[in-house]
Structure 1
């Protein structure tokens, strides 16, 4: 079971929620936390998760989930509602990059994802979710590539590529069918010609 599937099963399913997206992250700038405040729990892996309740009206949350070294379970840490999200900063609108910032009413975090692809997918799902579920005040998306905020998004690119491949294959089959049809016509014409030649030869008087 993948980490994302495990997080959904452990953290969200028991609360009648489902996870929409998750991205593994690390801080770009470490927070200054007193040594005693860490509790000596050691290293950990952090995930930022986007989830929605199954009950109507749907409530969307952004949750920080951690998995501590040596443990197979996940722990829910900070959580914010979508209405508390003020800004998503994609850092660079001109290229793929793994960095992004999240600004809430009472918090500001600078993250770097495991890959630019993971970050892009999370930001795109977050943007689409904000368009559907945000109330009067939608969060601001700044320094984000247009492909993350537009209609023709990477979420649909896979489907588009499959559709394109099917269309190309269909076109190739049609063209092949037309070629086969032309071959069959020519074959038929040759057979008719041969039959006519045979009939003519059969009717002709035999010479000794």
Structure 2
């Protein structure tokens, strides 16, 4: 099971939520630690997760989750309702990069994703989710490549279309492969029959000359 699948199973499913997206991140700016703070729990991995409740009316959350080194468990750290989100800053509108910022009513965080690809997928899903669940509340997406913000279709419809397209392509590929295998089997069968016929004829000729 992947880390994100385990994360969804451990953190969101028990709370009657489903995770829409998650991205592994590191802070670009160090967080101020109180002078009297003593030690931590060691190294950890941080995830920013986007989830939606199954109960109606649906609520969407952004949640910061940590997993400490050597532990299989996940710990919720902070959670924001998506209505508290003010701005998503993609840092560079021209080329893909792993950096992005999230600005909320109460503050902001600057993150670096594990890769530019992970960040792009997360921002794209977050954009579609904002359009679907809070269309009346304009969340500002700045410095994001246009490809991440294209289209106004809902996340669920978009996902359904993608899955449907993938299934159709896979089915077509399997059918074509089956046809090729069928033709190959026919050729193999014809060759085997021809070889057997040749062997029988050769055997009869050999017996005839032997006699």
Same fold, TM exceeding 0.5?
yes
Distance, in Å, in 1 between the alignment partners of 2:8 and 2:21 is 10
Deviation of 1:159 (Å): 7.2
- Cα offsets for 1:38-57 (capped at 9, x unmatched): 65211110000000000110
1:123 aligns to what?
Answer: 123
1:17 aligns to what?
Answer: 17
Deviation of 1:157 (Å): 7.6
| Runs of 4+ in structure 1 over 6 Å off | 152-165
Map residues 42-191 of structure 1 onto 2, 5 A cutoff: 42-134=42-134, 136-151=136-151
In structure 2, list runs of 5 or more residues that go unmatched.
180-211
Q: Is the 8 A contact 1:90 1:141 kept in 2?
A: yes
Deviation of 1:136 (Å): 2.5
Q: Is the 8 A contact 1:46 1:65 kept in 2?
A: yes
Distance, in Å, in 2 between the alignment partners of 1:109 and 1:125 is 19
Q: Is the 8 A contact 1:83 1:135 kept in 2?
A: no
Bigger Cα Rg: 1
Q: TM-score, normalised by structure 2?
A: 0.72
Paired residues, number: 170
Q: Is the 8 A contact 2:131 2:152 kept in 1?
A: no
Q: Is the 8 A contact 1:98 1:113 kept in 2?
A: yes
Distance, in Å, in 2 between the alignment partners of 1:107 and 1:100 is 15
Distance, in Å, in 2 between the alignment partners of 1:143 and 1:38 is 38
Distance, in Å, in 1 between the alignment partners of 2:136 and 2:19 is 23
Distance, in Å, in 2 between the alignment partners of 1:42 and 1:113 is 20
| Secondary structure, aligned partner of 2:37 | helix
Q: TM-score, normalised by structure 1?
A: 0.73
Deviation of 1:37 (Å): 3.4
Distance, in Å, in 2 between the alignment partners of 1:50 and 1:61 is 6
Distance, in Å, in 2 between the alignment partners of 1:8 and 1:51 is 9
Cα pair distance change 1:23/1:137, threshold 3 Å: same
Distance, in Å, in 2 between the alignment partners of 1:126 and 1:118 is 12
In structure 1, list runs of 5 or more residues that go unmatched.
174-208
Deviation of 1:133 (Å): 0.2
